[in-house]
Amino acid sequence: MKKFSYIVVAVIFTALGITGTYLFIDKYETKVVTEKVVTITETDTIKESVSKIYDATILVESYKNSILIGTGTGFVYKEDDNYGYIITNNHVVEDGDSVKILNNNGDLVEGKVLGTDEYADIAVIRIDKKYVLLVAEIGNSDEIEIGDTLFTVGSPLGDEYMGTVTKGILSGKNRLVSVSLSTGSYLIEALQTDAAINPGNSGGPLVNINGKVIGVNSMKLVEDEIEGMGFAIPINTVMSIIDKLESGETIVRPYLGVQLIDVTSTYQLKQNRITLNSKVTYGAVVVYVESGKPLDKAGLQKGDTIIEINGTKIDDSSTLRYVLYKCSIGDTITVKYYRDGDLKETKITLTDKVE
């Protein structure tokens, strides 16, 4: 009887051991299987959008006397039966006498600069069509909103990092950015983004989430205490002059025939022997008036301070140029100015420089 009992107990423990082992293995395997089927879904990837612009983006090399003097980025925006047409920045090519284009296939080919505009900081380059890998889609910069996802493609440090993609958002619209050019300081209306834009990105595309170009990267605000502020020229502004640049036309803007300095430029005012009335706290001060030009015809003279054009406040000479370049040749503008503390008003008909 005892022997039988021992057998029963042994069978029971054996059964329990087998069952426990099975349950343990089953549980462990279930865990392993569960871990294997966990997947990550990319809900915010922009790879499809990047593919719409990536091969349209190229590296621009600028040469002077056959010596490489600088690089930038550009993108193909159009092609015809014979050529591809590239947008880049004026400052990328302005100091050179020739350019070469490097595409993503590694083809380094001669390009021809068709036209440039210093103020808009835009240049158009032409290359043989056979080197065009892709043509970019042009978007509408008026339709984007603050907070929209944007990205750039460019060559921040030349060909070593060619094809770098950075992503951010639209941080601001209609930003007035001061730029110093050979002819003086200007304000450029720009899009602001926190996508990384470095000097070699100049001329490259700023692109929306659908892969369409909505801006041309032009500069980066660089100060020790400021990061993540990049700027681009709205594509609508660029496309408004692109036909003229393609045909080599000079972009003609209104010309007043005057030299200006800012109210705050104390040293320059002293050099020009101009003393302002205490009422004058802002504006653009007339230093010289060219005979026969619009301001001369309107009767303005040295020492007058322009404070308003067509109802828009003129803070300084950069603001004046910005407002003036919004107008067209032939327009009549209303100008308010101070002379010896007296506020005056006149109308001026705008002409070009050669008229």
Give CATH superfamily name and number for 48-131. Answer: Trypsin-like serine proteases (2.40.10.10)
Structure tokens at 211: 């892969």
Q: Name which of 8-17, 57-66, 97-106, 342-351 the model is least confident about.
A: 8-17
pLDDT in tens, 126-140: 999 999 999 999 999
pLDDT in tens, 50-70: 999 999 999 999 999 999 999
**Residue 157 predicted with pLDDT over 70:** yes
Q: Which residues contact 205 (CB under 8 A, 6 or more apart)?
A: 53, 56, 57, 73, 75, 136, 152, 153, 213, 215, 216, 217
As annotated, the active-site residues are: 91, 121, 202
17 confidence band (pLDDT: 50, 70, 90)? low
CATH of domain 143-239: 2.40.10.10
pLDDT in tens, 292-322: 999 999 999 999 999 999 999 999 998 998 8
Averaged pLDDT, 2-15: 48
Residues 258-349, CATH architecture? Roll (2.30)
Residue 253 pairs in a beta bridge with none
Q: Give me the pLDDT at residue 96, please.
A: 94
In angstroms, rounded to a whole number, what is the distance separating the alpha carbons of residues 75 and 73?
7
Q: Give me the pLDDT at residue 311, please.
A: 94
Count of residues in the chain: 355
77-92: b or e for each residue (b if 16 or more CB lie within 10 Å)? bbeeeebbbbbbbbbb
pLDDT in tens, 267-290: 999 999 999 998 899 999 999 999
